[in-house]
Homo-oligomer: A and B are copies of this chain.
Amino acid sequence: MSDTKTRLLDAAEALFADHGIAATSLRDITTQAEANLAAVNYHFGGKDGLLTAVFGRRLRPVNQERLELLDAFESAAGVSPVPLDQILYANLAPPFRMLDASGESGQRFMRIVARINADPASSIHQAFLRHFDEIRVRFLEALAKALPELDADEVERRFHYSLAAMFHTFCWGPQIACLCAQPHDHRERVFTSLIEYGVAGLRAPSDGVDLDELRGLERAIKGVPA
């Protein structure tokens, strides 16, 4: 039998992911973990602390691996920029590897992460973001080097688009029937798809779309005079 702390983390991870964070009470968690209600407060200082510990436990190794991968690709590239597919691979491979290794519980965890990510007003959000401080800086540097024709703002926006697709996929995957059907084969396809989409998006010409032209077309179609 594992110790109370671990049992609480496991129970919280499962319940937060399946029923949502707000909908899960400390009593649900302590009951499933066969622990006392007050144990949560003692070990983690409260519900927020427990949640922080839940994602910290898994996020640390995943993000560590991301940085190591990026390091490796950068060393291999020397003075040249790291190719975009390698940058995206360094960001995506670690969480996908965790999905393969941890099975059901890994999927659950990714759903929690995606949920916290989408709620900037939540109280644990800052603790969550701190896990990504170094990631953000390092990956933005690598992207900026690989995309010298874009200004820094645009690089950051596009980086966020690629993150959004990843979070959305982890959060929605099981329900879009893209990640669940044939677990492993499908995951491979989704992994590839995320990189393909991201590489193409990051490389998009920055003057490829003329908003005024689209607006003009809209007006013309709708029969508005001017």
Contacts and interface: CB of A to CB of B under 8 A. Distances in A.
Interface of A: 17-23, 69, 72-73, 75-76, 85-86, 89, 93, 111, 114-115, 117-123, 153-154, 156-158, 160-161, 163-165, 167-169, 171-172, 175-176, 178, 188-206, 208-209, 211, 214-215, 217-218, 221-222
Task: Report whether over half of chain A's contact residues are helix, strand or loop; otherwise say mixed.
Answer: helix
B167 A168 contact: yes
B121 A158 contact: no
Contact of A161 (B17, B158, B168, B188): B168
A115 B117 CA distance: 9
B192 A200 contact: no
A118 to B, nearest CB: 3
Given A22-B22, A157-B190, A178-B157, A86 B118 contact: no
Contacts of A20: 119, 121-122
A128 to B, nearest CB: 13
A118 B119 CA distance: 8
A222 to B, nearest CB: 6
A20 B222 CA distance: 39
Given A73-B221, A85-B209, A192-B211, A18 B176 contact: no
A180 to B, nearest CB: 12
Nearest to A166: B164
Nearest to A153: B178
A70 to B, nearest CB: 11
A171 B122 CA distance: 13
A208 B196 contact: yes
A209 to B, nearest CB: 5
Given A120-B175, A121-B23, A160 B169 contact: yes
B196 A206 contact: yes
Nearest to A86: B214
Contacts of A196: 204-206, 208-209
15 contacts: A18-B121, A73-B221, A75-B221, A76-B221, A85-B209, A85-B214, A93-B218, A118-B119, A120-B175, A161-B169, A165-B165, A191-B211, A192-B209, A195-B209, A201-B204
